[in-house]
Chains A and B, each alone.
Chain A
Amino acid sequence: MAFEPKEPQKEIKYSEMRIYTDEELNNYTEEELKNFKIKHDIPDLEELEKGPWPSFVSDAKQGALHRRKLADDRMLIDRDVIEDMLGQLQVSFNDGETHWKHGGIVGVFGYGGGVIGRYSDLPEKFPSIAHFHTIRVNQPASKFYNTDFLRTICDLWEYRGSGMMNLHGSTGDLVLLGTTTEQLEPIFFELTNELDQDLGGSGSNLRTPSCCIGKARCEFACYDTQDLSYELTTYYQDELHRPAFPYKFKFKFDGCPNGCVASIARADMSFIGTWRDEIRIDQDAVQGYIAGDFAPNGGAFAGRDWGKFDIQKEVIDLCPSKCMKYEDGVLTIDNSECVRCMHCINTMPRALKPGKDTGISILCGAKAPILEGAQMSTLIVPFMKLEPPYDNVKEFIEKVWEFWMEEGKNRERLGELIQRFGLPKFLEIMELPPAPQMVKMPRENPYIFWKEEDVPGGWDRDIKDYRARHKR
């Protein structure tokens, strides 16, 4: 199935948009790089260049040398920004504290997110980075780019910014590191008008939604993660760009429980593909694995002899709910006990596939440990069918937001609010019945309680009637 864009796509041709010539882009030799010293002493940072792994210090030095050799009129912010950034970082290492001030009122017109003000508190020592703002650029679904786009954005950023980027931030986003206030509007104009490209989220708003590669390449995908991510990104533009939430809010979309974007650990609302019928079994392919015709795990365990594939040891015994059996040459699964861990499917992808009645589970409340420790998302909606334009999903999202915006304290994440209210109360507000799938261990998290109105006859009983049946 060919890709069909939902809206007309602008074709971006680097040959027409480029700013630099090839000579300018490759303007130094290996020899020059080896002998290159930046203008500050950075002994601790240079420690980070040792060892076999890549180092941002080495990368930054390349950028610094590149800027040294560009002509004056070929960049619009100070030539020294990268050198000063490294110099200030060395001072931070010496002092054991940061020298970036926190926050500011920079932004682009009408947007409350996407630009993060950063200012040096040592502007006399490092004048070129007195203003050094970050810009977040909304990545496309599953981060599919073409090289024309990437080259164009690199040229634009070299010209109007520091040239340093981070692909990608943990929320997604191409992160452009460091430019002056004057360059913000021109960059925004070029991005939106020339590159057809929006900014991402920052601050107290919806952050750039991000999704796994989904149906574009992965046969495990139980729903079209790209489509849902794109739909919610465009539908919730106001929430993305005009912050009015108590704090940040993240959506992430995993096509199956393998969780390639780790939505369960990183999103206030995690959308995880699942199925409610049975795992599809191809018994011939099961025999193929046992006979050694197919490499288990798609051949991932190569490079060493792991011995003959043992279905009992490697699949059946590792099923967390012990719901699989291999007897008389036939593999069976008690699907009512399966917890959709994906282990068996990952091990034998030719033989096992997720069911056909697919949809999503929605979990809420993951967050990093600023308050109360890190937290994973908790299952709230065990199963929901999906169909564009996803009205049922939007209805749920808006109910959650309404509750959070009403009751959430300033800077309180959804997960913390749910903890403060308790899950039973949250379920009640969401008008969802408690379900066994929400409980991991009944004696460990017994948060499902009876209420008087749920019990026939309430809390009162006729003691005489009771005693007629139960002697003292």
Chain B
Amino acid sequence: MAMEDIKKAIVEFAETNKKTKFYFKDIEKAVQKVIPDAKMREIKKACTELINDGTLIYFSTGSSTMYGLKGRGMTEDPE
């Protein structure tokens, strides 16, 4: 159940933020604002599940990686 809440918080954050790409840390902070006792590992697990079900996608520059909502401002092409 807690996992579902964390996932919901992640999606809400990603949908409402002005930006379209997020560092894991920003996601972590946003989730903890809503669910203060959410642990970093749980948030990472939730992100992985959202990646696996296709809700989130990775954006990588090669040196660092960010997350984004599929279809929201993120196309395969970087520009």
Using a CB–CB distance below 8 Å, which chain A residues touch chain B? 101-107, 110, 112-113, 115-117, 119, 121, 134, 181, 202-205, 238, 242-248, 405-406, 408-411
| Residue on B nearest A101 in the bound complex, by CB | B78
Shortest C-beta distance, A399 to chain B (Å), equals 14
Please count how many residues in chain B sit with their CB below 8 Å of the partner chain's CB atoms: 26
Q: A104 to B58: give the CA distance in the assembly, Å.
A: 8
Interface of A is mostly: loop
B64 to chain A, nearest CB (A): 5
Residue of B nearest to A121 (CB): B79
- If A112-B51, A113-B65, A244-B44 touch, whether A119 touches B60 (CB-CB below 8 Å) is no
Task: Let me know if B62 is at the binding interface, CB within 8 A.
Answer: yes
Least CB separation from A102: chain B residue: B61
Complex Cα gap A405–B41 (Å) = 10
Tell me the nearest residue of chain B to A370, going by C-beta.
B63
Indicate whether A203 sits within 8 Å of B25 (C-beta atoms), given known contacts A104-B76, A105-B74: no
Shortest A31–chain B CB gap in Å is: 40
User: B47 contacts the other chain (Cβ, under 8 Å)?
Assistant: yes
Return the CB mask of B42-73 against A: 1 if under 8 Å, else 0.
00100110011000011111111100100000
- CA A441 to CA B24, docked complex, whole Å: 39
B15 at the interface (CB under 8 A from A): no
B51 proximity list for chain A (CB < 8 A): 110, 112, 242
User: Would B47 and A203 count as touching, CB distance under 8 A?
Assistant: no
User: Is A119 within 8 A of B78, CB to CB?
Assistant: yes
Bound Cα distance A388, B57 (Å): 36
> Which residue in chain B gives the minimum CB-CB distance to A243?
B65
Q: List, sorted by A's number, 10 A–B pairs whose CB atoms are closer than 8 Å.
A: A101-B79, A103-B62, A112-B65, A115-B60, A117-B76, A119-B78, A121-B79, A242-B48, A243-B24, A244-B44
Check if B57 sits within 8 Å of A244, measured CB to CB.
no
Assess whether A247 is in contact with B64, with CB atoms less than 8 Å apart: yes
B76 and A116 within 8 A (CB): no
Q: Would you list the 10 A-B pairs with minimal beta carbon distance, nearest first? A: A203-B65, A103-B61, A243-B65, A116-B62, A203-B60, A204-B65, A112-B58, A410-B23, A244-B44, A244-B24
Q: Is the CB of A117 within 8 A of B44?
A: no
Interchain CB contact under 8 A, B68 and A105? yes
Residues of A within 8 A of B76 (CB): 104-106, 117, 181
Shortest Cβ gap from A453 to chain B (Å): 30
**Total contacts A-B at CB 8 Å:** 95
Tell me if A103 and B59 are in contact (CB < 8 A).
yes
Q: Please give the distance in Å from A404's CB to the nearest CB on chain B.
A: 11
Provide the bound-state CA to CA distance between A104 and B61, in Å.
6
Q: Are B60 and A244 in contact, with the CB atoms below 8 A? A: no
B residues near A110, Cβ cutoff 8 Å:
51-52
B63 contacts which chain A residues (CB < 8 A)? 202-203, 247-248
Least CB separation from B61: chain A residue: A103
Give Cα A205 to B65, complex, Å. 8
B30 at the interface (CB under 8 A from A): no
Q: Take A105-B58, A112-B51, A204-B24 as given contacts and tell me if A411 and B64 are in contact as well, using a CB distance cutoff of 8 Å.
A: yes
Q: List residues of chain B with CB within 8 A of the CB of A248.
A: 63-64
| CB atoms of A104 and B60 under 8 A apart | yes
In the assembled complex, the CB of B40 is this many whole angstroms from the nearest CB of chain A, namely 6
Q: B59 to A104, Cβ gap below 8 A?
A: yes
Instruction: Indicate if the CB atoms of A202 and B24 lie closer than 8 Å.
Output: no
- CB of B26 closer than 8 Å to a CB of A: yes
- Which residues of the partner chain A approach B25 to less than 8 Å between Cβ atoms? 246, 408-410
| 0/1 string, B5-41, CB within 8 A of A gives 1 | 0000000000000000001111000000000000010
B77 in the interface (beta carbon within 8 A): yes
Query: CA A152 – CA B73 in complex, angstroms?
Result: 39
Beta-carbon contact of A107 and B24 below 8 Å? no
Q: Please, how many angstroms separate the alpha-carbon atoms of A191 and B68 in the complex?
A: 27
**Chain A nearest CB, measured from B19 CB (Å):** 12
Q: What separation, in Å, do the CA atoms of A116 and B40 have in the docked complex?
A: 26
The answer to whether B78 and A102 have CB atoms under 8 Å apart is yes
> Taking CB as reference atom, which chain A residue is nearest B43?
A244
Residues of B contacting A104 with CB < 8 Å?
Answer: 59-60, 76-78
Provide the bound-state CA to CA distance between A410 and B75, in Å. Answer: 23
Tell me the nearest residue of chain B to A202, going by C-beta.
B62
Give B31 Cβ to nearest chain A Cβ, in Å: 13
Determine how close the nearest CB of chain A comes to the CB of B65; give it in whole angstroms. 3
